[in-house]
């Protein structure tokens, strides 16, 4: 036999072996899950509805448990998990949600600017955000914080967020703080299971189902931009936003990390995030950094801008500006 061919054969064989070895554990678990689901279904059909509700719910939850990290899923797998999540929401709380897995738009890098001169502290952005993103009402989770600050104060860490009077007040300004979607985000590096990452359009997202709830990212964020679900999030069904995104405002569980996603379910459709739309003073500017004609580029070119804790090198895509 020609040694060249023989060599090739051997390489093919080892390659095949390697492949089998790599996928062995996952394949086994998958198989086990299917068998268990079938077995469970068979068992439950014998004794009626069990602790997991219907057979279908039981089977769907098994499949959900063994799905991949969102970044490793093929488009078909993304579709499947999205359908499962919709069906589970229907079975669990009898609610019709539309979960999307809309991909980032090519040639888009989202940026945000906040006008500290214009913000009057009405906090309408906060309530709009809570409603749009299905944030937990029980623990009063909020992505956005607004601080009332005196002239000369430089950091929202010394500002007052619990002001209880009519706003605006003379000689004060208002500064909004949220996730800055850093280009060099420390939170994504801290995650031990790679459940959080930056999407190509610049949005830092979390795969809620891959998160193990260790809160390393929360500790790594110098801006206190991440929120943890200490309890099962509670949202009244009547107030729930039904139009959801896998990486955005779909319902989280207890023990999962969450954060601002620039309303990924809206921004990837060309719509403005809920906070920008709700702002009554127009202090919030949102747009595509890669588009020379966008408003955000106008602000960056013509206004005095600064970034919070710029010296840390996190490279936030969130600028403050003054008129």
Partner 1 sequence: MLALILAVFSGGYAYSAQDGVVQIYKNATAPFDDEKKVDSILLIPEKTVPVKTKYQGGLFWTETRKEKIERFKCSKCHNNKSVRISQAAEMAHGTIVLDHGGAQKPLSCYTCHEKGDRDFLVTEAGLKVDMDHSYRMCGQCHFRQARDWVGGAHGKRISYWAGQRVVKNCVSCHDPHSPLFEKRWPKTYSPPFK
Residues 175-234 that bind partner 1 (CB under 8 A): 177, 183-184, 202, 224
Toward partner 1, which CB reaches closer, 55 or 183?
183
* Shortest separation between residue 81's beta carbon and partner 1, angstroms: 22
- In whole angstroms, what is the distance from residue 252 CA to residue 30 CA? 24
The binding track of 8-47 with respect to partner 1, each residue x by CB under 8 A or -, is ----------------------------------------
Toward partner 1, which CB reaches closer, 120 or 209?
120
Q: Does 315 bind partner 1 (CB under 8 A)?
A: yes
* Shortest separation between residue 230's beta carbon and partner 1, angstroms: 13
Q: Read off the DSSP letter of residue 53.
A: B
Helix axes 75-93, 55-65, angle to 10 degrees: 140
Instruction: Tell me the C-alpha to C-alpha distance, in Å, between residue 316 and each of 223, 281, 289.
Output: 10, 23, 12
- Tokens at residue 185, please? 């985000």
Among 85, 136, 149, 159, binds partner 1 (CB under 8 A): 159
Handedness of CA 294, 304, 201, 211 (dihedral sign): negative
- In whole angstroms, what is the distance from residue 190 CA to residue 203 CA? 17
* Shortest separation between residue 113's beta carbon and partner 1, angstroms: 8
- Tokens at residue 276, please? 């920008």
* Shortest separation between residue 148's beta carbon and partner 1, angstroms: 9
* Shortest separation between residue 10's beta carbon and partner 1, angstroms: 47
Helix axes 55-65, 3-47, angle to 10 degrees: 150
* Shortest separation between residue 228's beta carbon and partner 1, angstroms: 13
Task: Provide the terminal-to-terminal Cα distance of the chain, rounded to the nearest Å.
Answer: 80
Q: Read off the DSSP letter of residue 140.
A: T
Q: Does 248 bind partner 1 (CB under 8 A)?
A: no
Restricted to residues 279-298, the positions that interact with partner 1 (CB under 8 A) are 279-282, 284-298
Toward partner 1, which CB reaches closer, 67 or 172?
172
Q: Does 142 bind partner 1 (CB under 8 A)?
A: yes
Instruction: Tell me the C-alpha to C-alpha distance, in Å, between residue 74 and each of 8, 51, 71, 106.
Output: 30, 32, 8, 18
Among 167, 214, 240, 312, binds partner 1 (CB under 8 A): 167
Count of residues interacting with partner 1 (CB under 8 A): 71
Restricted to residues 250-279, the positions that interact with partner 1 (CB under 8 A) are 267, 269-272, 276-277, 279
Beta-carbon count within 10 A of 304 CB: 10
- In whole angstroms, what is the distance from residue 19 CA to residue 114 CA? 50
* Shortest separation between residue 104's beta carbon and partner 1, angstroms: 11
Which residues face 227 on adjacent strands? Answer: 258
Beta-carbon count within 10 A of 248 CB: 28
- In whole angstroms, what is the distance from residue 220 CA to residue 226 CA? 10
Restricted to residues 69-128, the positions that interact with partner 1 (CB under 8 A) are 105-109, 111, 113, 115, 118, 120-124, 126-127
Q: Does 173 bind partner 1 (CB under 8 A)?
A: no
Q: Does 145 bind partner 1 (CB under 8 A)?
A: yes
Q: Read off the DSSP letter of residue 70.
A: G
* Shortest separation between residue 103's beta carbon and partner 1, angstroms: 11
């Amino acid at each position: 036999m020609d040694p060249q061919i023989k060599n090739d054969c051997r390489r093919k064989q080892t390659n095949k072996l390697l492949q089998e070895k790599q996928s062995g554990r996952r394949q086994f678990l998958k198989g086990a899950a299917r068998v268990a689901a079938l077995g469970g279904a068979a068992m439950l059909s014998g004794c009626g509805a069990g602790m997991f509700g219907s057979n279908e719910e039981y089977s769907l939850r098994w499949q959900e448990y063994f799905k991949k990290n969102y970044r490793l899923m093929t488009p078909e797998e993304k579709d499947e998990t999205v359908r499962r999540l919709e069906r589970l929401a229907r079975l669990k709380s009898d609610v019709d949600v539309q979960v999307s897995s809309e991909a980032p738009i090519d040639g888009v890098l989202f940026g945000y600017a906040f006008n500290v001169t214009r913000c009057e502290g009405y906090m309408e952005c906060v309530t709009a955000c809570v409603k749009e993103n299905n944030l937990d009402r029980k623990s009063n989770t909020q992505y956005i914080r607004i601080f009332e600050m005196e002239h000369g104060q430089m950091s929202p860490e010394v500002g007052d967020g619990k002001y209880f009077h009519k706003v605006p007040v003379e000689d004060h300004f208002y500064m909004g703080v949220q996730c800055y979607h850093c280009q060099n985000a420390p939170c994504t590096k801290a995650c031990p299971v790679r459940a959080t990452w930056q999407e190509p359009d610049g949005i830092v997202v979390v795969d809620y189902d891959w998160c193990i709830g260790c809160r390393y990212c929360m500790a790594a964020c110098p801006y206190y931009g991440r929120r943890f679900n200490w309890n099962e999030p509670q949202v009244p069904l009547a107030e729930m936003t039904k139009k959801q995104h896998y990486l955005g405002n779909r319902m989280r569980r207890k023990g999962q990390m969450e954060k601002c996603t620039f309303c990924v379910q809206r921004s990837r459709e060309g719509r403005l995030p809920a906070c920008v739309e709700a702002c009554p003073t127009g202090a919030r500017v949102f747009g595509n950094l890669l588009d020379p004609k966008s408003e955000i580029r106008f602000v960056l070119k013509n206004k005095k801008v600064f970034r919070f804790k710029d010296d840390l090198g996190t490279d936030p895509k969130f600028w403050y500006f003054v008129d």
